[in-house]
Amino acid sequence: MNEPSLQTLKRLFAMSGNRCAFPECTLPIVERSGIVTGIVCHIRGRSSGGPRHDPGQTVEDRHGYANLILMCGRHSKLIDSDPDTYTVDILGRMKAVHEQRNGSIELSRSDAPKVEALLRDYRTVYINAGGHVMLNSPGAVQATNVTIKNAKSSLKSVPAQGSLGSDVVRRNYVKHLIDRYNDFASKQTGRKEFSHGAIYRLVKNKYKADWERMPLACFDDLVMFLHDRIDRTQLGRINRGKGFKNYSTLDEYRIRYAGDADRVGA
C-alpha cells in the first residue's frame, strides 16, 4: 500500500470537520466547489530523508489513520520546514485536540466526492519541465511533487486522472459552451472591443483553477455557470424569447460526439 486507503481518508476527513488541524486555523481542506486546497500530511514523514521520517515504521502504519493529519497549504509547509519545533508528539497532540473539537464519525453524502477528490490530489505528480514520469507502476516515482530539469523549451502535459480535461466528452462539451459564449458575446450590438480570453479568466477567478484542471466533481456546476453566461448575452436572450435553443445538452452533444470520435472541439 503506497497511499492511504479511501476509507482511511473518509474517516480523517470526517474527524477533521474539513478544516486545517493547525491551532486556530479555519481554512477548509476541500472548497465547496470541490477544489482541493489542503494537504494530506504525514506525522512521521512519508519518504526517507523527509521530516520526522521513521525508517522502522511499516508501510501500513505510515499511511494509516494515526499517522495522517489534514493541513492547509501554508501550515503543511510550516510544519515540514521546522520539524524540530513540530515534532511527532506535537503533531499527534494537535491532531487529537482538533478532532475532539471538530470531528464526527459520520461522513455526509455530499462530502464523499470531496474525499475522492482529496485522494486524486494526493496521487498527483506536478511536472515543472519535460520528461517521462510513470505513476502507480513498480519502480516508478512515488511522490506528491516532482521537479524535472530539462533543456527543452516546451512541455506537453497530459491532464491528471480525475480532472475535467481527462474526460474527452465532458472536456469537449465545456469547450463547446465556451466557444458558444464567445460567439454570442462577440456579436452583441454596440460592442467595440471583445476579448475571447475573458471567459477563461472568469472561470479561473470563480473556481481558482484552469478549467481543464478542475476536478470532474465541478463539471455540473461549471456547465450551469456557462449556460447562464450564454443565456444572458444579447443574442442568447433573443433566442430564448423566440423559443430557440442556445446550446446542446450534454446528452445531445454526446450523441453528436459519438458520431465524430476524432473531432477535438465543437
Grid cell locating 97: 485536540
pLDDT computed for residue 159 by the predictor:
67
Spatial distance between the Cα atoms of 219 and 120, rounded to a whole number of angstroms: 16
pTM beyond 0.75: no
Grid cell locating 115: 474525499
pLDDT computed for residue 105 by the predictor:
64
Cβ-contact 148, 130 below 8 angstroms: yes
Calculate the alpha carbon distances from 224 to 11, 12, 27 in Å.
31, 31, 26
Grid cell locating 243: 423559443
Task: Give the torsion through C-alpha atoms of 43, 49, 54, 57, to 10 deg.
Answer: 100
For residue 30, what are the β-bridge partners? 36
Nearest alpha-carbon partner for 169 in 112, 249, 96, 64: 249
Q: Which uninterrupted H or E stretch holds 68?
A: strand 68-72
Q: What is the mean pLDDT of each run of 10 residues along the chain (266 residues)?
A: 86 92 92 88 89 93 95 92 94 93 72 88 54 43 48 56 84 91 89 84 88 89 95 93 91 68 37
Place of cell 524540530: 84
pLDDT computed for residue 120 by the predictor:
87
